């Protein structure tokens, strides 16, 4: 089950783009009003992360933020159009874990949310990740193709394994080359061209086992693992 994100906003029209961005990337969302009433909602829903999407940090918003932090260690992100250090500091001192300025880059927002969810333990790693016929075992570091005739191991390098595991956690989502570079090759000297080279080799290995429709290039973006059906 994908992480549940509670979006508390003071203007629903502002959060429609955010909600679309999150659901497209595999998150479940629930929207409510950015008021004291959200405190009870938060307790009932038990979301994995809360986004406080507001035009400005009013006194009542800060009060809500303080109360949320007192009663829960759920990660809280404040999103606002105000790009002032003073506002950032007010939000962080009141209990926010991050402050994101509108307009935002969807890929950057998703990456930051995933980082917070991993740190909080909300993204419990799955041992076996499956996308179509492809299976990635995150404990044994094995990759295989499962068909009606049985299981065929696929020999991959450590970086290739990381790339497959990273994309398999969010099937159908397009990852940029920069995202993949940061997530899977931060400990090596590499460039976006290196990502392309690894993907070319991975595609050849998968095609050799009869899997030609899972690893896709997304023009102008990067790559994804396409889950059919």
Q: Yes or no: say if 41 and 71 are a contact pair by the CB < 8 Å rule.
A: no
The answer, as to whether pTM is greater than 0.85, is: no
Spatial contact of 164 and 143, defined as CB atoms under 8 Å apart: yes
Q: How far is C-alpha 45 from the geometric centre of its chain's CA atoms?
A: 20
Instruction: Give the C-alpha separation, 188 to 182, whole Å.
Output: 10
Q: What is the pLDDT of residue 1?
A: 44
Write down all domains in the chain, each with its CATH number in brackets. 4-120 (3.40.50.2300), 128-225 (1.10.10.10)
Half-sphere exposure of residue 223: CA atoms within 13 angstroms, side-chain side: 26
Query: In this structure, what token pair is assigned to residue 113?
Result: 């949310």
DSSP code at position 125: P
Query: Positive or negative, the Cα torsion across 58, 59, 63, 66?
Result: positive
In tens, the pLDDT along 2-29 reads 788 988 887 666 667 788 888 877 788 8
Q: What is the pLDDT of residue 154?
A: 96
pLDDT at res. 206: 94
- Per residue in 161-198, pLDDT (tens digit) is 999 998 998 888 889 998 898 888 877 777 888 999 99
């Amino acid at each position: 089950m994908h992480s549940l994100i509670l979006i508390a906003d003071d203007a629903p029209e502002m959060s429609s783009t955010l909600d679309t961005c999150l659901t497209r990337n595999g998150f479940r969302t629930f929207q409510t009003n950015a008021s004291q009433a959200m405190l009870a909602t938060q307790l009932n829903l038990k979301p994995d992360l809360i986004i406080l999407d507001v035009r400005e940090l009013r006194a009542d918003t800060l009060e809500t933020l303080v109360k949320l932090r007192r009663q829960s260690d759920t990660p809280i992100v404040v999103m606002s159009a105000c790009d002032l250090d003073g506002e950032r500091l007010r939000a962080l001192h009141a209990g926010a874990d991050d402050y994101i300025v509108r307009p935002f880059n969807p890929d950057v927002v998703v990456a930051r949310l995933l980082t917070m969810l991993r740190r909080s333990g909300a993204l419990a790693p799955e041992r076996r990740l499956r996308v179509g016929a492809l299976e990635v075992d995150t404990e044994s570091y094995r990759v295989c193709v499962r068909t009606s005739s049985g299981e065929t191991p696929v020999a991959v390098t450590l970086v290739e394994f990381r790339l497959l595991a990273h994309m398999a956690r969010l099937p159908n989502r397009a990852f940029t080359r920069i995202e993949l570079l940061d997530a899977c090759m931060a400990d090596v000297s590499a460039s976006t061209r290196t990502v392309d080279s690894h993907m070319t080799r991975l595609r050849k290995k998968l095609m050799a086992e009869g899997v030609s429709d899972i690893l896709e290039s997304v023009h102008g973006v990067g790559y994804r693992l396409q889950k059919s059906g």
